[in-house]
Structure 1
C-alpha cells in the first residue's frame, strides 16, 4: 500500500509539473532601441507588465529595395541599434531575470517594405548575401556571448527567401556553429506557410498582423470571429511540422479600423480609437494564448521612456498608458 501511495504521489506531482509547463508562455515585448543606454527605471514598467521576455532589435540599413549593401553598427546609429547597445540592453534585462530574443532587422530608406527587397543581378544577390551574413552572424556572436535564449535570423524578407532559399539553409548552419540557443524567423502573416526552412529552426515565427475585422470599432467577438479564418490552419501547420508557433510580433494600433489592416503604420490613419485596440488585442489573447501549439509572443511595441510614451491621444501601436496596457498586464500575470 505504501508503495502505491508513493507512486500515486509521483504521478500527481508529474502531472502538476506538466500542467505548469503547459501554462508557461513567452509573454514578450518588443523593446524599441533608443539613443541612450537603459537603466532599472526603464526596465521597471516592463516588470510591472508581468512580461518575462524582451526582444532587442538592432538595425541594419539599405539605400533602396535593389541595393545590396547593408550598413550597420555605425556611429550614425542610435546606441540601442548597435552591438554595444544590444550588449548593454541584454545585460540590463538579464540582471532582472528576463529572457531575451535578439531580433536583427533591416530598415529600407523611406520605410519601404523589406519583403520586396529584390536584386537585379546575380552579382547583386551575392553581395546582398555576403553583407546580410555579416550582419546576422555578428549579432549571433553577441547573442551567444550574452547568453541570449532566442535569436531571430530575419524579419519579413519573403522575396529574398523566395529567390535564394539555398542561401538561407547555409546561413542557418553557420548561425548554429556560432550560437547555441533557440532559433526562429519572423515571417509576415501571409508568408509563413511558404517559408521553406522551418524544420531547421526551433519555432515557427509569425508577425501576426492577420486582418480580423473590417469594422470601425470591432467588438471582441467580431475579432474572434475573424480569427476563425486562420486558427485551424495555424494549428494544423504547427502539428504537421511538430513545432510551436511564436508570434514574433503582434499588436494593433489605437485607431479606427484597427483590425482591418493591422500592419499599416501610415500616420494619415490618426483617428484615435482606444476601444478598437483593446478589443482586437483581447480577441487575440483569448483565441491563441491557451492553445498547446502556441508558444507566446512579443507585443509590438514598447518604448523605454514609459511615462511619456503612448497615452490617450496616441494613435500608434504601443499599449503604454492606454486601456490595453491594463488588460495585457492582467493577462501576462496569469502565465
Structure 2
C-alpha cells in the first residue's frame, strides 16, 4: 500500500506553503465555482457558510499543494447536485467539515489531506465516487461518511482506497439500506477512537486489505443491522474490545424502519491479533433482535482473550477453519444452533 507517512504530513502542515503558480482564475473565499480552478496560494476563510461552492458539473479544483483552511463554523467545499467533480492535491483544515456533497455522483477526491476538523468528507446520496491517496488526521468526527439522506437517494458503488486515517473518531461510516456495493480497501487506519469502519443498515459492501492498528474503545469493524457484507483479507492488530462486532438494531437507522437482524455477512481470511474478544456476534439481548446466518471462515486469530463470542441473540451462525493461537477461549457460545 503506497501511503504517505502520517508524521511527514503533520510536519508539512506546520510549515506555511509558499509556492506560487500562474494559474487563472484566482480563487477567493465565498466563490461560486463554475469553471476549473487552481489555487496559487493558501486560502483562509472566516466568514459566510462555505469557503467554496461548486456550481457546475465537470469541475476540477486543484489545490496545487496549498492549504484551504477556515474556522470551525464553516464548511470547506459544498457540492450539491453537481456531477463529475474532482478535488485534488492539497490540504483542507480547520472547518466544521472539509467537503460536503449531496446528490453529486462521480466525485473524485485524490491526494487531499483533511486535518484538524470535525467531519472530513460527507457523501450524501452520492454514487460512483472515489476517495484515494488521501489522509484524515485528528478529526473529532468521521473521516469519510457515506449515507442515504432521503428515501429516494442511493449511495452506491463508491470506493475508499489507499488512504490513511489517524486519530479520528470513525474512519469510514456507511449508513442506509440504499448504500450498497461500496468498497473500502487497502487503507491504513490507526488509533481510531470508536470504529475504524462502521456499517449501519448497509448491505452488500466489501471491506478488504485494510490495516487497522491500535483500535480505541469501540470495535475496529462494526456491522449493525446489515446484510451480505464481505470482510476479507484485513489485518486487525491490538484493540481494547473487538476486532469485529456484528449487532442488530444497536443504533438508529438511516431513514429506513429499524431492522431487527444482521445476517449473511461473511468475515474470512483476516488476521486478528491482540483483542479482548476478537469477534463478537450479538448484544446479548433476546428482544427479537437476531444475529443469524453469518459466516466466520479461515481467519487467523491470535493472542486474544476470547476468539469468537456468540451471544444469546446469535442464531445459526457458523465458524469454520479458523486458527487460534495464544487465545485463551477460542469459542464462547451463549447462542442457539451456531455451528463450528
- Determine if the TM-score, normalized by the shorter chain, exceeds 0.5: no
With CA pairs under 8 Å and 6+ residues apart, which has the higher RCO, 1 or 2? 1
* TM-score relative to the length of structure 1: 0.26
Name the structure with the higher strand share. Answer: 2
